[in-house]
Amino acid sequence: MNWSVVPGHIVTRWAAEVSPDDVWPSYPRPQMVRRRWISLNGLWRYGITPKNGNSPRFQGDILVPFPLGSALSGVNQPLLPDQKLWYQRVFSIPADWSGERVLLHFGAVDWETTVWVNEHLVGTHRGGFLPFDFDISEYLRPGENELLVSVWDPTDTHWQARGKQTLHPKGIWYTAVSGIWQTVWLEPVNLSHIRRLKLTPDVDTHTLAVEVLLSGEEGGEEIEVSIWDGARMVMKGSGQPGAIILLHLPESHLWSPDDPYVYHLRVEVHQRGRVLDEVMSYFGMRKFSMMRDRKGRLRMALNDRPLFQYGPLDQGYWPDGLYTPPNEAAMRADIDFVKSVGCNMLRKHVKVEPDQFYAYCDRKGIIVWQDMPNGAKPVGDLLSALTTWLGKWPRRDTRNYWKAGRQAAQSRIEFRQELQDMVDHLHNFVSIGMWVPFNEGWGQFDANAIANWLKLYDPTRPVDHASGWFDQGGGDFRSIHSYVKRLHPEYPDERRGVILSEFGGYGLKISGHAWNPAKQFGYGKRRSRDDLTEAYEELLERQLSAWVAAGLSGAVYTQLTDVETEINGWMTYDREVKKMHADRLRATNRQLLATSVAQE
């Protein structure tokens, strides 16, 4: 075995637990679970060639699913736009899978992926954040099989969705993520099998709408769905593939951050007396909406009660794994910390996480505001600074697409398709309470049209159409980012609520826990733990609380952890130091939420 964590930067304590023999071993799709599967995580061979190279030249081992540029991959080097990354490994199919179809799954690969099995081209996928799969049955042979994967990633030289990744990290721009960064796995299925579940709860009618889409449909299939409360079956129904099956729960147990209750679901495909496929899932009965409080102000609501939502900006970066947490315990620890300091929400910033992340938020009761990853062209440092200081900067986004790097029609088409794919993929997760298509004008175009489409496509969640800048008057909110200066309340109007979707960002450097001790970025640097805690208390108690009383629907503090040279986290980047006094942080956050309840 030729693998070790590459030294040079800080790492988390979970890095010591990573082993090539047991890396991210948990089942990767908690919303649609089958019993049989095989993980392909572990050591693969890798090589880097010129982009136009068609033959891999292997240079060593890489630990999948950690991206190429991470310390935990064992490689820790960038992939340049004129290069191609190659992976290779062998695998065998269990004897009891004989006669079944075999699906090869990739959780996420950044960015353009081509796959061969036993020298046969299987397919190509473009996109860096969402899962995809191939049916490789016809290419398999007895005994060992060879899997070959190539990846090309243009990072910030192209228009694709990429979040904060750059080839030249600095300030708020971070190390690029290239290659495989989520679990690779195999599973056997029948020719006719469940391709997708769509689960839509309706609190008003006490129903769950279940839609089951099949692949390889042969004819004569029937879907059977049962709802379980622990070991007790509470409801059962059936219908045809692709049809809506309505299940009634007249005394449903509602999901909320204080009571994150979920029901379990069993879905079976029957055909002439035999079961072709069976999956297990879960859902929560909850309703996200907008409503007026007792003073007539438009606010966010959960289950037909106004709910002020508060929590941190969560970038999902790790010093040792970049986009990939060292293990599931590390990922859960971040969410546990958010809950422990009195928050009911986090904003998942310009990244889509592995499914296990959202499933854990479902069970912990943390609402997720989900961003679409940014792509195309950032607005630039000068306009960023002006907009941060002035608080707003008007721009029409329905013309001059070149300003946003969207002059190519294909860029706009790909964005819309990937946004739809993200919404489809995450639809069933209970905790997702808002969609955020655009952040701070980056790549922003046709925001009103996209928000209107999104609200029709998924009417179960509010939409923040333009977080921070270049407000077009659409979506459900006037969405404000405020740094450096004092907070001044802005009020809901007749059509939209108001959210403070980024604020704070106070910085504190902790010696021995910095990614780069020579560089640091934050909005107002503090001298000590006491100083930082006091400044945070003043910000919430004397500034933000007044805005909540004026009708603010939610707020997002920047941020959960330091990220590379940003030092404005509640925790250091390695998660070792809680930079504020935890008891005072928790008390301040809880008092803010208590203040909001009084405004209902």
Residue 579, helix vs strand vs coil: coil
Which of 283, 313, 332 is the endpoint of a domain?
283
Omega before 559 cis (within 30°)?
yes
Tell me the residue type at 344: N
Same-domain pairing of 239 and 278: yes
Same-domain pairing of 98 and 247: no
Same-domain pairing of 214 and 143: no
Q: Which pLDDT score is estimated for 385?
A: 67
For residue 231, the domain's CATH number is 2.60.40.10
Same-domain pairing of 102 and 244: no
Same-domain pairing of 142 and 213: no
Q: Which pLDDT score is estimated for 404?
A: 93
Same-domain pairing of 31 and 180: yes
pLDDT along the chain (600 residues), means of 10: 90 97 97 98 97 90 98 98 98 95 98 98 98 98 97 97 96 96 98 98 97 95 96 95 95 96 98 95 98 93 96 98 98 98 98 98 98 91 67 78 95 98 98 97 96 98 95 96 92 95 96 92 90 97 94 97 97 98 97 79
Name which of 272, 155, 280 is nearest 226 in CA terms.
280
Q: Residues 455, 474: contact at Cβ < 8 Å?
A: no
Q: Which pLDDT score is estimated for 595?
A: 80
Number of domains in the chain: 3
The answer for 475, left when phi > 0, alpha when psi is -120 to 50, beta otherwise, is: left
For residue 130, the domain's CATH number is 2.60.120.260
**Interatomic CA distance for residues 517 and 564, integer angstroms:** 10
Residue 266 lies in a domain: yes
Q: Which two tokens stand for residue 447?
A: 């925001």
Q: How far is CA 112 from CA 78, 346, 377, 410, 516, in A?
A: 16, 30, 19, 15, 31
**Interatomic CA distance for residues 173 and 84, integer angstroms:** 23
Same-domain pairing of 58 and 173: yes
Q: Which pLDDT score is estimated for 396?
A: 83
**Interatomic CA distance for residues 139 and 136, integer angstroms:** 6
The answer for 99, left when phi > 0, alpha when psi is -120 to 50, beta otherwise, is: left
Q: Residues 357, 370: contact at Cβ < 8 Å?
A: no
Q: Which pLDDT score is estimated for 392?
A: 62
Residue 157 lies in a domain: yes
Q: Residues 315, 563: contact at Cβ < 8 Å?
A: yes
Residue 291 lies in a domain: no
Q: Which pLDDT score is estimated for 379?
A: 81
Residue 172 lies in a domain: yes
**Interatomic CA distance for residues 476 and 499, integer angstroms:** 10
Same-domain pairing of 201 and 181: no
- List the domain range (segments joined by +) for residue 220: 193-283
Residue 122 lies in a domain: yes
**Interatomic CA distance for residues 46 and 409, integer angstroms:** 35
Q: Which two tokens stand for residue 184?
A: 């690779």
Tell me the residue type at 587: A
Same-domain pairing of 179 and 124: yes
Residue 64 lies in a domain: yes
Q: Which pLDDT score is estimated for 600?
A: 63
Residue 20, helix vs strand vs coil: coil
Same-domain pairing of 99 and 238: no
Q: Which pLDDT score is estimated for 166?
A: 97
Which of 229, 263, 283 is the endpoint of a domain?
283
Which of 233, 256, 283 is the endpoint of a domain?
283
Q: Residues 84, 49: contact at Cβ < 8 Å?
A: yes
**Interatomic CA distance for residues 267 and 219, integer angstroms:** 18
Same-domain pairing of 178 and 251: no
Residue 464 lies in a domain: no
Place of tokens 């959780």: 107
Residue 417 lies in a domain: no
Any idea what DSSP says for residue 305? E
Same-domain pairing of 523 and 541: yes
